[in-house]
């Protein structure tokens, strides 16, 4: 089965107004307000729109930026990276490869101690945590 693109009406029915604003319209939740900013449980983070597995808690780290941060997705083909020059700056947008929902942005070269010196800065509202069975 191909990627779940859906139409606008279907997304409006499935998602809350805030989820739709971020996932389908490329919005951003306010810093420090998302449910996963300080989340420590082990598990897999899925796309809130389509359920695709995107990130592991094993790659989540505290970047103190106000949004959940990961140093890599589960696999490179789980996300799409797009050039974003909105807001007068050059950034790289992160989208779900399955349903094309906006997740956040990735930043490189900030001095993080991970293999790619990467920070995938992802909106909590774009994710759903599936805790590991042994997660406390």
Question: What amino acid positions are annotated as catalytic residues?
Answer: 121
Distance in angstroms (rounded) separating the CA atoms of residues 93 and 67: 15
Structure letter (DSSP) for residue 57: G
């Amino acid at each position: 089965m191909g990627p779940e693109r859906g139409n606008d009406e279907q997304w409006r029915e499935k998602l809350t107004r805030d989820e739709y604003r971020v996932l389908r319209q490329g919005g951003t939740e306010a810093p420090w307000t998302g449910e996963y900013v300080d989340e420590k449980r082990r598990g897999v983070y899925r796309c809130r729109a389509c359920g695709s597995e995107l990130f592991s808690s094993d790659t989540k780290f505290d970047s103190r930026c106000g949004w959940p941060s990961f140093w890599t997705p589960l696999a490179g083909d789980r996300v799409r990276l797009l050039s974003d020059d909105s807001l007068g700056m050059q950034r790289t947008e992160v989208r779900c490869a399955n349903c094309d929902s906006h997740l956040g942005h990735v930043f490189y070269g900030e001095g993080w101690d991970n293999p790619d010196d990467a920070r995938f800065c992802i909106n909590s509202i774009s994710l759903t945590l599936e805790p590991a069975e042994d997660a406390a």
